[in-house]
Amino acid sequence: MKEEKRSPDLKSGKGEKDYSKYFDFSDAKVLAEEDGKTTYRIKGRTVQINSRPDFKEGKRRGKESIEVHYDFQVPKDMQTIGEGKLYHLTTYGCQMNEHDSETMRGLLEEMGYTATEDRREADIILLNTCAIRENAEDKVFGELGHLKHLKLEKPSLILGVCGCMSQEEAVVGRIMKKHPFVDLIFGTHNLHRLPDLLREAMFSKEMVIEVWSKEGDIVENLPKKREGIKAWVNIMYGCDKFCTYCIVPFTRGKERSRRPEDILAEVRDLARQGFKEIMLLGQNVNAYGKDFEDLEYRFGDLMDDIRKIDIPRVRFTTSHPRDFDDHLIEVLAKKGNLMEHIHLPVQSGSSEILKKMSRKYNREQYLELVRKIRIAIPDAILTTDIIVGFPGETEEQFDETLSLVREVGFDSAYTFIYSPREGTPAAGMADDITEETKKKRLAQLNETLNEFSRHSNDILKDQVVEVLVEGESKMNPEILSARTRTNKLVHFAGPKGLIGQLVQVKITEPQTWLLRAELVEEPALRRA
């Protein structure tokens, strides 16, 4: 299975793409070619390819300026197409994908569709996929296996695959070959094409593939279906960092920042609608604004402007240590609605490994940044991402990661075993570490991290902290679930009317992953 997904040509980035490895086009008969779209007859199925992924193209970083569009509309003939019909959308991967799903829900509902939890009754099923590690992809292929039966039972069902996996050449080839019952494949750059693509898939009964390898423009006014009290806000798209292990620059295209006035207007609008917390999203938010040619306006400036908007809590993810500048630290130190939690992925504590990862900072520079943050914001909580078992990582280099974890004292971390991604430079690096060693390192790392999580929670015992009440606890509806400013999960007993409010609680029982607390003061409940 693993072998099938690799192509030596792609790994080295040299030579022609070898689709035949995944899909034999010699079996395919060209039925028609029109407007750049080619229709093939392949093993009894008609496949219309508008465009398909191309890693070489995806890697290019052109100078073309990005246009911003404000005039999106669902085409007239698609505005009522979904009336009386149901959709089911499954999201894998990061918050960026979750937020894209909100856009797709918005689009589907503008077409008249209603959401359903039950896949068996759905007329459209979409899988919004993630390509970050192999196990993320395996889940999706497993799911496609299950969905085949639904499609057989209900041929009118439209089954679509979108998100980061669709941007991969090998994945699209594998779906064409092994899962030909899929009706629609589209990528991360053409979400706004969903109504048109659905039309093509529905009325032609063909498999329709449209994946743009080059990022498109920014479409500002796409509908979004948001729920609850927290909202995600994209501040930029794409990533230009090309860390050697990472697929994201290929699946998400080049860095494009949204215009500040558009972001600020969206945040003001969310505040007016009563959202209590916003999470600003970007693969590397600290690169915000670097692509503006007409404007000196960076992430620190944006945060300083958002700080003045009346929304209780503002968070952001993810911060690349390389672009974290002093102005941003200065602005974050003003606090207010800017939370004292910084997610600062380090990936490794070894300068040699960081170099091989092309992270563009070394251990000392990372520690220096942490020191600066701690001086400016003494109560800041730091969390991180760490990869173990990067190709060639020695025991000593892994020990450097452990020692960095101890030195910084992260509150928590997402930890991963390195997973080779086709087309990335690291996938071609010699890797002689056994699976067993990688697992052992991961366990050892997690153990060390857990000690720190526990410790940082223990010192909160008997302290009174402000929390935002987010809802009922999943385990016990009598208990409310809330978060501290530093994003720690708190459970306490209290009336449901507190949901959406900021309250003071006293921490009574800290645990590793959870703080149990009691309500100190109940604010006057607002009238509806």
Furthest-apart CA pair in the chain: how many Å?
Answer: 73
Q: Which two tokens stand for residue 368?
A: 């220096």
Q: Residue 90 contacts by C-beta under 8 Å, 6 or more apart in sequence? A: 125, 126, 127, 128, 143
The distance of closest approach from Cβ of residue 510 to ligand F3S in the complex, given in angstroms and rounded to an integer, is 30
With respect to ligand F3S, which residue has the nearer C-beta, 137 or 196? 137
Residue 205 backbone zone (phi > 0: left; psi -120 to 50: alpha; other: beta) = left
- The site partner of 164 among ligand F3S, ligand SF4, ligand SAH, none (C-beta below 5 to 8 Å per kind) is ligand F3S
On whether the CB atoms of residues 101 and 129 are closer than 8 A, the answer is: no
- Return the closest-CA partner of residue 20 out of 1, 39, 7, 3: 7
Q: Which two tokens stand for residue 442?
A: 């991961």
With respect to ligand F3S, which residue has the nearer C-beta, 79 or 90? 90
- Return the closest-CA partner of residue 470 out of 272, 275, 234: 275
With respect to ligand SF4, which residue has the nearer C-beta, 209 or 328? 328
- The site partner of 289 among ligand SF4, ligand SAH, ligand F3S, none (C-beta below 5 to 8 Å per kind) is none
- The site partner of 242 among ligand SF4, ligand SAH, ligand F3S, none (C-beta below 5 to 8 Å per kind) is ligand SF4
39, 213, 234, 251: residue in contact with ligand F3S (rule CB under 6 A): 251
127 has which bridge partners?
Answer: 90, 161
The distance of closest approach from Cβ of residue 143 to ligand SAH in the complex, given in angstroms and rounded to an integer, is 21
With respect to ligand SAH, which residue has the nearer C-beta, 50 or 318? 318
Residue type, 234: N
- Return the closest-CA partner of residue 483 out of 499, 469, 495: 469
Q: Which stretch binds ligand F3S (CB under 6 A): 30-38, 244-252, 335-343, 498-506?
A: 244-252
- The site partner of 131 among ligand F3S, ligand SF4, ligand SAH, none (C-beta below 5 to 8 Å per kind) is ligand F3S
Q: Interface with ligand SAH includes 283 (CB under 6 A)?
A: yes
Residues 139-178 that bind ligand F3S (CB under 6 A): 163-164
Q: Judged by CB under 6 A, how many residues of this single chain contact ligand SAH?
A: 17
On whether the CB atoms of residues 53 and 188 are closer than 8 A, the answer is: no
Q: Which stretch binds ligand F3S (CB under 6 A): 94-102, 356-364, 400-408, 424-432?
A: 94-102
Q: Which two tokens stand for residue 451?
A: 């000690």
d(Cα 210, Cα 77) in Å, to the nearest integer? 20
Q: Using the 8-state DSSP alphabet, how is residue 309 labeled?
A: S
With respect to ligand SF4, which residue has the nearer C-beta, 216 or 253? 253
Q: Which stretch binds ligand F3S (CB under 6 A): 91-99, 304-312, 375-383, 478-486?
A: 91-99
With respect to ligand F3S, which residue has the nearer C-beta, 251 or 486? 251
Residues 369-388 that bind ligand SAH (CB under 6 A): 385, 387
Q: Per-residue x/- mask for ligand SAH, residues 408 to 427, rule CB under 6 A?
A: --------x-xx-x------
3-state SS string for 462-497:
CCEEEEEEEEECCCCCCEEEEEECCCCEEEEECCHH
Q: Interface with ligand F3S includes 97 (CB under 6 A)?
A: yes
- The site partner of 249 among ligand F3S, ligand SAH, ligand SF4, none (C-beta below 5 to 8 Å per kind) is ligand SF4
d(Cα 515, Cα 144) in Å, to the nearest integer? 39
With respect to ligand F3S, which residue has the nearer C-beta, 144 or 332? 144
Q: Interface with ligand F3S includes 234 (CB under 6 A)?
A: no
Please provide the distance, in angstroms rounded to a whole number, between the alpha carbons at the two ends of the chain: 56
- The site partner of 78 among ligand F3S, ligand SAH, ligand SF4, none (C-beta below 5 to 8 Å per kind) is none
- Return the closest-CA partner of residue 520 out of 79, 310, 498: 498
345, 349, 391, 425: residue in contact with ligand SAH (rule CB under 6 A): 345
CA distances from residue 361 to 354, 358, 393 in whole angstroms, order as listed? 7, 8, 17
Q: Residue 338 contacts by C-beta under 8 Å, 6 or more apart in sequence? A: 303, 306, 307, 314, 331, 332
Task: Spell out a b/e string for 342-374, using b for 16 or more CB atoms within 10 Å of the CB, else e.
Answer: bbbbbbbbbbbbbebbebebebeebbebbeebe
CA distances from residue 176 to 183, 190, 330, 357 in whole angstroms, order as listed? 10, 20, 52, 33
Q: Interface with ligand F3S includes 131 (CB under 6 A)?
A: yes
320, 356, 441, 491: residue in contact with ligand SAH (rule CB under 6 A): 320
For 271-408, strand residue ranges (E) read 277-281, 313-317, 341-343, 381-388
- The site partner of 96 among ligand F3S, ligand SAH, ligand SF4, none (C-beta below 5 to 8 Å per kind) is ligand F3S
- The site partner of 130 among ligand SF4, ligand SAH, ligand F3S, none (C-beta below 5 to 8 Å per kind) is ligand F3S
39, 91, 213, 347: residue in contact with ligand SAH (rule CB under 6 A): 347
**DSSP one-letter string for 238-298:** ------TT--HHHHH-S-EEPPHHHHHHHHHHHHHTT--EEEEE-TTGGGTTTT-SS----
Helix (H, G, I), strand (E, B) or coil at 507: strand
- The site partner of 416 among ligand SF4, ligand SAH, ligand F3S, none (C-beta below 5 to 8 Å per kind) is ligand SAH
251, 284, 383, 401: residue in contact with ligand SAH (rule CB under 6 A): 284
Binding site for ligand SF4 (CB under 6 A): 239, 241-243, 246, 248-249, 283-284, 320
Q: Give the interface with ligand F3S as residue ranges (CB under 6 A).
A: 93-94, 96-97, 130-132, 163-164, 247-248, 251-252
Q: Give the interface with ligand SAH as residue ranges (CB under 6 A).
A: 132-133, 245-246, 248, 283-284, 318, 320, 345, 347, 385, 387, 416, 418-419, 421
